[in-house]
A and B are shown apart, each in its own frame.
Chain A
């Protein structure tokens, strides 16, 4: 019921596209990151939280149909419902029930608890389409609480410098603000790309550290600053007299990646399923057939086949770029 098309995954029974790559008539959107929710679609269907974020990113003009988690909607000859994926605020798996049974598209997901969104809901299905961004047996995440404690102690140690933490402005930044709220109450300075999304998270009831938008002031000694990776190496950085730089991403699990990128500190925190998470999820769906997309999908497919699972790749054979991107 889900097939490849030039514009990405497509459900002919709707008909509608799923996280399309280019403009289409009707699209179901799993979450608000830029590589999933693109501009130019005539109409999109998503959760209310995703809708708020998408409006902020793409403007008020977007025609959006809202579907609450668990609510069922008949589209053509299939019934669609959205269920929490645990990736970020509003992120959803797409469950499609139709003549060919039950299919679930995971979207981006993780199994670790995240204070900014509803936890991943395991769904039984016949065919499970899973992301494979980190589907290699070297990826396994430490608890986010430990990482938050690491960040807090790094911040505390930089009394005379700014602690400049690069991360994605939507999703990762808010998760860090929420995780850090468990260990401190100090306000955090944020780049202009982070704040608008933080406001939407707050309006959705997510508890985070208080944020201060960075203005023209200088120095920021002893402060934690969250900024998107795109700000690195731009004139925006000139305001920091002395600073240490950190980066938060699942990619930094690999030592060489951190060293090549030249950050002082790397914090391993990801919003995608790690290797044990992917395997556990596949098991819990009880799916007869598994389709894998993104990242290390070919390795996952081969591994599943050797374990006797019917598996195949789906979607673009994209190079494993930085999967935490928005």
Chain B
């Protein structure tokens, strides 16, 4: 664990990408494979489930450090992070005479001590944690607290972690990324399998790393000749791969979750596909000849059991847009033009639930731009532009795949509640709730955390503290004075929200200092948005 703590410090101490990769690479070279496997687990953004409530950890930390609760709160308000507060308090309480014993290795700590705590009662958990604290330094106590509370995060992206491991193993990053896909479990053996030489792989269930598009930030004319690009609708569902190999079939979401069992109504799709096929596409709720809103699919995902009624109300379909493997051969290096031809042959006439994401025909960018304006009526999020000559890449490299989304929805709403954020914003009021008018009253419709500049955050924070009218724990009700323009991607009716409306990905667009609260939007104008979308948003729950 000591070595991992040193790696954590090294990553924390630099903003240089090269320095981070170098630090990880030398860690992988030195650490025992079982430890390296767990380190990689965290470096690629994976997390353990919470084993201990943060509140308990704070109580035990106070007890050990002999610090009263009010003092711990005082410290917390300065530090803004519970794990760090606990570690710092205990470090201060430590006596000089105690020589630190060698802490357990990362793998033995997690596998031998922490994971078994799932089954333990509170007394046992307390005993284990107290014993562990005896052998740990400050930063190790900090990391232990992060592990226990399921909040272990390292300041690197998954791509960077993969790059470091690839450099260590002398393999292409795509190979390592592929081996990490799916149900990768950390162990000495699985780590050895990740770094073994050679690039041909055996695991039948494993999907390919997804190629992700970047938002188009300029006019499409900048992409050059329209004929060089395939245009498709941007479907609003769950990005997924169908892996049809070894006599079986696997449906993987982009979050690398195996969701085959969630979509039993697609079994006809995989049954119809030939052995040795991997398709990239979108799982949609699809009725007749049109996609249903994402909220319908979302309700289906939320259900424990797939009842016949749900299957009827939200029937799934797979909208295929790429083929990555054909007849057992990795075809990702073929240009899109050839993969597309292959895909059309593969998909045609197989199943009524297997659809082809067709080419949106328009001779010019201008014509395409006109079609894009009809996106909402079609129930799509805009257009995807893909270069005909491009291979299927890994991750989000810019240049070959662009998402050209329609402009977000926009409303003016009034700030009504505020509470402190987390991490570096722990001391600032940045979690904000906004409301619109309904029969002379303000009804909350959205929470938003992002979109203001640091200066605006500071100003708003001061204002909130001076204009709090009521407090509910950490939440402050403020005078309904300030109007903000909010943007969001989707809107649907919802029985789970007091306003009866749920919005998707809300964020602050700007602070409308020019508007009075009376000029904010009403619940009626939001309902009109639902209607104008022409999308079926009726709550089926």
Give chain A residues whose Cβ lies under 8 Å from the Cβ of B70. 302
Which B-chain residue is minimally distant from A279 (CB atoms)?
Answer: B92
Q: Which of B77-85, B105-113, B492-500, B529-537 binds A?
A: B77-85
Q: A274–B74 contact, CB under 8 A?
A: no
Does residue B194 face the partner (Cβ distance < 8 Å to A)? no
Give chain A residues whose Cβ lies under 8 Å from the Cβ of B94. 140
How many pairs of residues, A versus B, come closer than 8 Å at their CB atoms? 60
Q: A256-B423, A265-B13 are in contact. Are A138 and B81 (CB under 8 A)?
A: no
Within 8 A of B (CB), among A128-147: 136-140
Does residue A218 face the partner (Cβ distance < 8 Å to B)? no
Q: How far is the CA of A317 from the CA of B80 in the complex (A)?
A: 23
Q: How far is the CA of A136 from the CA of B71 in the complex (A)?
A: 8
Number of interface residues of B (CB under 8 A): 27
Q: How far is the CA of A136 from the CA of B13 in the complex (A)?
A: 25
Q: How far is the CA of A147 from the CA of B93 in the complex (A)?
A: 20
Does residue B424 face the partner (Cβ distance < 8 Å to A)? yes
Does residue A275 face the partner (Cβ distance < 8 Å to B)? yes
* Residue interface bits A139-179, CB-to-B below 8 A is 1, else 0: 11000000000000000000000000000000000000000
Distance from B87 Cβ to chain A, minimum over Cβ atoms (Å): 9
Q: A137–B14 contact, CB under 8 A?
A: no
From the candidates B15, B71, B80, name the one contacting A264 in the complex (CB within 8 A). B15
Distance from B442 Cβ to chain A, minimum over Cβ atoms (Å): 34
Q: How far is the CA of A252 from the CA of B13 in the complex (A)?
A: 12
With a 10 A CB-CB cut-off, give which of A136, A137, A140, A275 has the most chain B CB atoms.
A137
Q: B78–A140 contact, CB under 8 A?
A: no
Does residue B5 face the partner (Cβ distance < 8 Å to A)? no
> SS class of chain B's interface: helix, strand, loop or mixed?
helix
Give chain A residues whose Cβ lies under 8 Å from the Cβ of B13. 264-265
Q: A137–B93 contact, CB under 8 A?
A: yes
Q: A137–B92 contact, CB under 8 A?
A: yes
Distance from B425 Cβ to chain A, minimum over Cβ atoms (Å): 10
Q: How far is the CA of A138 from the CA of B67 in the complex (A)?
A: 10
Q: How far is the CA of A296 from the CA of B74 in the complex (A)?
A: 9
Does residue A306 face the partner (Cβ distance < 8 Å to B)? yes
Does residue A3 face the partner (Cβ distance < 8 Å to B)? no
Does residue A254 face the partner (Cβ distance < 8 Å to B)? yes
Within 8 A of B (CB), among A242-273: 253-256, 259-260, 264-265
Q: A256–B71 contact, CB under 8 A?
A: no
Which A-chain residue is minimally distant from B142 (CB atoms)?
Answer: A255
Q: B15–A140 contact, CB under 8 A?
A: no
Does residue A196 face the partner (Cβ distance < 8 Å to B)? no
Which B-chain residue is minimally distant from A300 (CB atoms)?
Answer: B71
Does residue B431 face the partner (Cβ distance < 8 Å to A)? no
From the candidates A138, A259, A302, A306, name the one contacting B88 in the complex (CB within 8 A). A138
B residues within 8 Å of A by Cβ? Answer: 12-16, 65, 67-68, 70-71, 74-75, 78-81, 84-85, 88-89, 91-94, 423-424, 426
Cβ-closest 3 pairs across A and B: A138-B88, A140-B92, A138-B75
